[in-house]
Amino acid sequence: MPASSTTPISAGALFRQALKDETPLQIVGAINANHALLAKRAGFRAIYVSGGGVAAGSLGLPDLGINTLDDVLTDVRRITDVCDTPLLVDVDTGFGPSAFNIARTIKSLIKFGAAGCHIEDQVGAKRCGHRPGKEIVSTQEMADRVKAAVDARYDAQFFIIARTDAIAVDGVDAALERAQACVAAGADAIFAEASYDLATYQTFSQALSVPVLANITEFGQTPLFSVQELAGAGVGMVLYPLSAFRAMNKAAETVYGAIRHDGHQRNVIDMMQTREELYERIGYHDFESKLDLLFAQGKSK
């Protein structure tokens, strides 16, 4: 039966289209559904759920592989329920030691409306990508992780990125060799974590047949390169995983401190989103209008 003209476009297909339309594609982290709507309002064509963000923001835990697949899926569902901007998800090492675990992760992400994910080559007891002491699995094991993810997707448009932390562990040449093995296993793109200069990104971009993602996270090993600088190095995607989250946390600490110290919030009111701004961002008045209509219909009966 031919597809209907109203058949919805998958999230993965939307992500791939955004990647074609915007080079490099800016992908901004959204710590919750409200931030996803704000990112969409700002004009971003793709958004992101960070594993470290789920751990710190939703659970109050460090980024050490403690959170589970269900923890991530909860945040994914809340975002995709209200925001149609394609969502890229951090799945750490795949949430399990076997291909079956990775397959379950991929299928669940597609079911919950994600557009793609990245899976990494650290050992199960992982660390933040910009911390020392990282340990990685063999190249073959990482390639097997990628193949398991690719084989599991039932939407061919779902976008799978292989992240390698090998630059910090074994150097650029070893990381590039590992990236090439991941591409051969079916990865749609490569995430070269903790790259320290533009020349490194250019090396990856020139050697690989797929897009390269640059993780421009604050206070890490990678300088805060601009989109223009990264474009010159051939980068295809630029990720800002926790920028708004960091700003939100700093603002919250400032407000809490002021209220406790001053006994009122008058000195920090200018830092706050107004009630009307919040209502407008989440479509409050549209919901209220529907409620008014229902009440009016009830009274007319």
Residue ranges of the annotated binding site for substrate are: 50-52, 128-129, 163, 193, 215-217, 246, 275
Do residues 119 and 165 lie in contact, with contact meaning Cβ atoms separated by under 8 Å?
no
Tell me whether residue 118 is one of the annotated catalytic residues: yes
Do residues 204 and 190 lie in contact, with contact meaning Cβ atoms separated by under 8 Å?
yes
Count of CB atoms within 10 A of residue 59's CB? 12
Chain-centroid distance of CA 94 in Å reads 14
Binding site listing for Mg(2+): 90, 92
Spot the catalytic one: 32, 45, 75, 120.
120
Spot the catalytic one: 16, 32, 63, 75.
63
> What phi-psi label fits residue 56: left (phi over 0), alpha (psi between -120 and 50 degrees) or beta?
alpha
Tell me whether residue 84 is one of the annotated catalytic residues: no
Spot the catalytic one: 121, 165, 188, 193.
193
Tell me whether residue 78 is one of the annotated catalytic residues: no
The DSSP letter of residue 259 is H
Spot the catalytic one: 16, 35, 92, 145.
92
Binding site listing: 50-52, 90, 92, 128-129, 163, 193, 215-217, 246, 275
Angle formed at CA 297 by CA 296 and CA 301, multiple of 5 degrees? 115
Spot the catalytic one: 35, 118, 130, 145.
118
Strands (E), 196-272: 212-215, 237-240
Q: Which two tokens stand for residue 188?
A: 């749609």
Spot the catalytic one: 16, 45, 90, 240.
90
Spot the catalytic one: 75, 163, 182, 240.
163
Q: Is 188 exposed, middle or buried (0-12, 13-18, 19+ CB in 10 A)?
A: buried
Tell me whether residue 128 is one of the annotated catalytic residues: yes
- H-helix or E-strand spanning residue 46: strand 46-49
Tell me whether residue 215 is one of the annotated catalytic residues: yes
Spot the catalytic one: 35, 48, 67, 240.
48
Chain-centroid distance of CA 66 in Å reads 18
Spot the catalytic one: 121, 128, 165, 188.
128
Angle formed at CA 35 by CA 29 and CA 41, multiple of 5 degrees? 100
Tell me whether residue 249 is one of the annotated catalytic residues: no
Which are the contacts of 172, defined by CB distance < 8 A and separation ≥ 6? 200, 203
Spot the catalytic one: 121, 178, 215, 240.
215
The DSSP bridge partners found for residue 120 are 163
Tell me whether residue 120 is one of the annotated catalytic residues: yes
Tell me whether residue 144 is one of the annotated catalytic residues: no
Tell me whether residue 260 is one of the annotated catalytic residues: no
Catalytic annotation, residues? 48, 63, 90, 92, 118, 120, 128, 163, 193, 215
